[in-house]
Amino acid sequence: MIWRKDEADTAGGEHQAPPARERKDKQMADNGEVTIVGTGARLEGNVVSAGSLRIDGQVKGQINADGDVTLSPQSQVEADIRAQNVSVAGRFVGNIVVKERAQLARGGRIDGNITSKTLVVEEGGVFHGQSIMDAGTSSGSRSSGQAGSSSTGSAGTGTKEPDQVKV
C-alpha cells in the first residue's frame, strides 16, 4: 500500500477529499497501472513498467513500458525507451522506439533517434536526430524490403543544420 502525506496528516480517521492532482492521478491509475518517478527522484539502471510510466525526475539507463511513457517538463532523461506511445515535454537524450505515436511537446527537447508510426512535433519543441516512420515497429525489426521513411533536417519553415529540427 502507498500512503500519501495528506492521508498520514489526517487525524482520527477523518477523510478529506483529495486535491485535484491526486484525483487526476487516481483516474489515470484506474484506467491502467501508472508508475510515477517523482520530482527530485533520480534513477539509474533499467526501469520496467507493466503499465504506463510518468517521469517528473531524472532517469539514466533503459526504459521499457507496456503502456505509455510521459516525460514532464521538469524531467531529465538519458535512456533508450521502448513503449506503446511516448510524450516528451522535458529533456531527453537517447533513442525512442514506440509501436504507435511519439510526441515532442512545446519546450521539450529530444537528442536522439525516434522510430514510430506517427511523430508529432509541437511548435517550440527541439528535435535533433533521425526519425524513422515505420509501420512495422511493433515487430521490433525491419527487413530491408519493408517500406519506411527516414527524415532529418528542418520542419518546413527555415533551413537548419542537416540533422536538427526546431519548430
Least confident stretch, 50-54, 55-59, 133-137, 145-149: 145-149
pTM of the model: 0.65
* Residue 4: per-residue pLDDT: 46
What mean pLDDT comes out for the span 9-20?
46
* Residue 35: per-residue pLDDT: 85
* 30-54 burial code (b ≥16 CB/10 A, e <16): eeeebbbbeeeeebeeebebebbbb
- The proportion of the chain whose per-residue pLDDT surpasses 70, expressed as a percent, equals 61
Flag whether pLDDT at 3 surpasses 50. Answer: no
Residue located via cell numbers 519543441: 125
Contact 154, 160 (CB under 8 A): yes
Say if residue 164 is exposed, middle or buried (CB neighbours under 10 Å; 0-12, 13-18, 19+): middle
Say if residue 66 is exposed, middle or buried (CB neighbours under 10 Å; 0-12, 13-18, 19+): middle
* Residue 92: per-residue pLDDT: 98
Cell numbers for 85: 506511445
What mean pLDDT comes out for the span 120-132?
96
Flag whether pLDDT at 9 surpasses 50. Answer: no
Nearest to 131 by CA among 159, 158, 95: 95
The residue extents of the domains of the chain are 5-166
What mean pLDDT comes out for the span 139-143?
40
Query: Between residues 96 and 28, which one has the greater pLDDT?
Result: 96
Give the angle subtended at the CA of 152 by the CAs of 148 and 154, to the nearest 5°.
Answer: 130
What mean pLDDT comes out for the span 144-164?
39
* Residue 121: per-residue pLDDT: 96
Query: Between residues 15 and 103, which one has the greater pLDDT?
Result: 103
Neighbours of 150 (CB within 10 A): 11
* Residue 33: per-residue pLDDT: 76
